[in-house]
């Protein structure tokens, strides 16, 4: 039962003052991670520009390029200058790839970094031999252009998708910094929340955030826990009831005995759940990384076979080595470095225009395989605000609503907002009440246009033995609706039923997901009756109600355990662990910063129908990436066998110069194809 009590709206302007006052100390590493990510982007950008500038003289000095364009700009010592410039590009521009290769090999998981590093090490090593006359030709120009393009690809990709997550920092912001500690003499003094101990008594003033989990010793108030538990309306709490740190006190002053502090607190448990989920989230390799892994093994295998075959045919070691080096350099196509990043950049930009902010690329890529979407209720499938659903009265509905809205216009309760909004939408003119009072825990009373008006809870009506339509009341209660009664001049005038209103866009989203063969579920902290009513309205496949935050993440794990690829959509703190645990976490943009920071994709427009857009965008992005990878790989499929000399008996062998032309062509095609991306 939700008691309908009055809130003085004036205090609401003051209760956000502590939102930004928080202790950063525990979360320095997360802020550091964010700055580290920005630093990496700047680092790739700087390395790209410096390497690009040095590449110009490398191309001019390269004998192979000179031969290709039919000029001779050779001079004494030019090879040493070329080698010196290429050495700077190799160590400075190639450093991220060399260190990346070391990391990948330590993890026994070679990917893009290893493939790039293999190509540049082989190109640099062989070219250095040519300086001392131990090899026929150098590949310094290949080395420089490969490093340039790979640096550009990584820079584009990192800039497109900022993957830093500040979820834990955002969680810390929910807790106030200070608490009003009551000493033995009944005096209060402000202390840091970190100083609070179990059984300390604290004062919580109207509109303040609760600084720690505890039990009410004195006072009565309504507590807004919606951010934490998903319960859609404030809950009346009195002596003996528990309060949660981070929830917002209503208009009553409370004396609370602290029961849980630090690590034991509810909010800290949520923090730990999010941290664990983020750390354990699968390090999914994206598409280009998986392609690079295979190309690495192919390059090693084909390179070794090429060397052995040419040597067995009686060719000199220098020639066999040149063939092997050509194969291994060609195996790392420039186009591959741009195939995915360019698509990501275009896809991220298009998604942003559609109101989808992609934060985790690998998870977004996987959205095309989703089999189930779990929705939070309050603020996601529903508006998160009360609206009038039914008016039952033998008198005039308009008159009933007019009197109710007149009295409720002085209250700041969610139910009051719902009734006033309904009157405004029906264009019913309501007046100022001549008198107004709050009946604590029961409702409101006042005088409207000379009539005595009361808006009260079902409990009040029963206590007064007033007759009412019990059948209608029962039906509305079973649907999880909140019912208030309107009494005019001691006569029961009728009842108004309210519920958290379902978003119209939710209906369209669920319908479309079902058409795509995707299961739809709801996971909510709200009571079962309310949840079942919403589920019935939307024809959901499964409903999980009265679920606590840690249970939410367990539920997601349980559903994933059935072999389903799962997305979770939510907006509250209570959703954060579940968002972080899902294969794809989707945050409603109008929700809490915590949810947003825990998610892989953010829906800016707070429209559940955009979940469908994510899946469609993911499928389109994947198709375009596959196309680009085939264009990039097509170059390899043709060039590697030719470089190895498979057609040598017929006098056809791929020279490095022709290889360069094919490489450039594949890179241009990949770039154009990415730009043609659309959904």
Write a three-state SS string for 188-252. Answer: EEEEEHHHCCCCCEEEECCCCECCCEEEEEECCEEEECHHHHCCCCCEEECCCCEECCCCEECCC
Asked if 506 and 608 touch (Cβ cutoff 8 Å), the reply is yes
> Of 501, 419, 493, which is closest to residue 454 (Cα–Cα)?
493
The size of the chain, in residues, is: 679
Comparing CA positions, the residue from 334, 372, 377 lying closest to residue 529 is 377
Please write the tens of the pLDDT for every residue from 486-542: 999 988 889 999 888 888 889 999 999 999 999 999 998 877 888 888 899 899 999
Mean pLDDT of 557-578: 87
Residue 135, pLDDT above cutoff 80: no
Angle between helices 78-88 and 140-160 (to 10 degrees): 20
9: confidence class by pLDDT, cuts 50, 70, 90: very low
> How do residues 35-93 score in pLDDT, each as one tens digit?
566 778 888 899 999 999 999 999 999 887 888 788 888 888 888 999 999 999 999 99
Which of 148, 224, 376, 526 is catalytic? The answer is 376
Q: How far, in Å, CA of 51 to CA of 68, rounded?
A: 23
What is the pTM (predicted TM-score) of this model? 0.65
CA atoms within 13 A on the CB side of 340: 23
Integer Cα distance of 146 and 134 in angstroms = 23
CB 503 within 8 A of CB 387: no
- In this prediction, what percent of the chain has a pLDDT beyond 90? 22
Q: Cα–Cα distance between 464 and 454 in angstroms, integer?
A: 13
Please determine, for residue 24, whether its predicted confidence score (pLDDT) is greater than 70: no
Q: What is the mean pLDDT of the segment spanning 636-652?
A: 82
Give the number of other CB atoms < 10 A from CB of residue 291. 25
Is 575 known to be catalytic? Answer: no
Please give the distance of CA 452 from its chain centroid, rounded to a whole number: 52
pLDDT > 60? residue 675: yes
Higher pLDDT, 259 or 666: 259
Q: Which of 531, 528, 456, 461 is nearest to 500 (CA)?
A: 531
Inter-residue contact 100 to 59 (CB < 8 Å): no
pLDDT tier, 228 (very low <50, low <70, confident <90, very high otherwise): low
- Angstrom distances, CA of residue 210 to CA of 9, 193, 232: 19, 10, 18
Environment class of residue 212 by beta-carbon count within 10 Å: exposed (0-12), middle (13-18) or buried (19+)?
Answer: buried
Report percent pLDDT > 70 for the chain. 83
Neighbours of 285 (CB within 10 A): 16
């Amino acid at each position: 039962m939700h008691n309908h009590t009055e809130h003085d709206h004036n205090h609401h302007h003051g209760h956000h003052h502590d939102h930004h006052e928080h202790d950063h100390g525990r979360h320095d590493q997360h802020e550091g991670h964010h700055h580290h990510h920005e630093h990496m982007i700047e680092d790739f950008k700087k390395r790209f520009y410096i390497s690009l500038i040095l590449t110009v003289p490398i191309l001019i000095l390269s004998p192979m390029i000179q031969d290709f364009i039919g000029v001779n700009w050779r001079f004494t010592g030019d090879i040493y200058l070329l080698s010196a410039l290429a050495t700077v590009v190799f160590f400075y521009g190639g450093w991220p790839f060399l260190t990346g290769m070391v990391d990948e090999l330590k993890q026994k998981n070679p990917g893009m970094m290893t493939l790039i590093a293999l190509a540049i090490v082989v190109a640099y090593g062989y070219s250095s031999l040519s300086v001392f006359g131990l090899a026929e030709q150098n590949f310094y120009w290949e080395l420089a252009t490969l490093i340039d393009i790979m640096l550009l690809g990584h820079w584009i990709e990192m800039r497109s998708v900022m993957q830093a997550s500040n979820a834990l920092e955002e969680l810390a912001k929910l807790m106030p910094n200070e608490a009003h500690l009551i000493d033995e003499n009944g005096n209060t003094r402000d202390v840091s929340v970190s100083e609070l101990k179990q059984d300390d008594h604290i004062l919580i003033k109207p509109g303040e955030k609760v600084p720690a989990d505890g039990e009410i010793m004195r006072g009565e108030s309504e507590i807004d826990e919606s951010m934490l538990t998903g319960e859609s309306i404030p809950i009346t709490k009195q002596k003996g009831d528990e309060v949660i740190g981070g929830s917002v006190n209503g208009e009553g002053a409370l004396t609370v005995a602290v029961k849980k502090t630090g690590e034991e607190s509810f909010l800290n448990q949520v923090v730990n759940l999010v941290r664990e989920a983020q750390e354990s989230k699968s390090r999914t390799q994206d598409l280009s990384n998986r392609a690079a892994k295979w190309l690495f093994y192919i390059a090693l295998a084909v390179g070794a076979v090429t060397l052995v075959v040419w040597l067995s045919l009686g060719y000199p070691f220098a020639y066999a080595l040149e063939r092997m080096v050509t194969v291994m350099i060609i195996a790392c196509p420039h186009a591959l470095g741009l195939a995915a990043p360019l698509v990501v950049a275009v896809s991220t930009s298009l998604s942003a225009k559609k109101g989808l902010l992609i934060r985790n690329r690998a998870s977004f890529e996987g959205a095309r395989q989703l089999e189930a979407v779990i929705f939070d209720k309050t603020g996601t499938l529903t508006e998160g605000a009360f609206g009038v659903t039914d008016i039952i009265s033998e008198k005039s509905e308009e008159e009933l609503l007019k009197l109710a809205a007149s009295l409720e216009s002085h209250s700041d309760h969610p139910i009051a907002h719902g009734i006033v909004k309904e009157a405004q939408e029906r264009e019913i003119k309501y007046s100022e009440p001549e008198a107004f009072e709050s009946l604590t825990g029961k409702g409101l009373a006042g005088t409207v246009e000379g009539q005595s008006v009361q808006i009260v809870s079902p409990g009040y009506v029963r206590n007064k033995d007033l007759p009412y339509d019990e059948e209608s009341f029962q039906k509305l209660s079973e649907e999880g609706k909140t019912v208030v009664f309107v009494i005019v001049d001691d006569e029961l005038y009728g009842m108004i039923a309210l519920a958290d209103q379902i978003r119209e866009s939710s209906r369209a989203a669920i319908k479309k997901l079902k058409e795509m063969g995707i299961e739809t579920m709801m996971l909510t902290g709200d009571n079962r009756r309310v949840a079942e009513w919403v589920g019935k309205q939307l024809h959901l496949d499964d409903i999980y109600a009265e679920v606590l935050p840690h249970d939410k993440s367990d539920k997601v794990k349980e559903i994933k355990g059935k072999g389903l690829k799962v997305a979770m959509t939510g907006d509250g703190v209570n959703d954060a662990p579940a968002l972080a645990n899902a294969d794809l976490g989707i945050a409603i943009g109008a929700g809490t910063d915590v949810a947003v920071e825990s998610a892989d994709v953010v829906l800016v427009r707070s429209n559940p129908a955009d979940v469908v857009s994510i899946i469609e965008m993911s499928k389109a992005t994947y198709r375009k990436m596959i196309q680009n990878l085939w264009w990039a790989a097509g170059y390899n499929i043709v060039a590697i066998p030719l470089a190895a000399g498979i057609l040598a008996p017929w006098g056809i062998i791929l020279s490095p110069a022709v290889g360069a032309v094919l490489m450039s062509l594949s890179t241009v095609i990949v770039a154009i194809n990415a730009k043609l991306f659309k959904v």
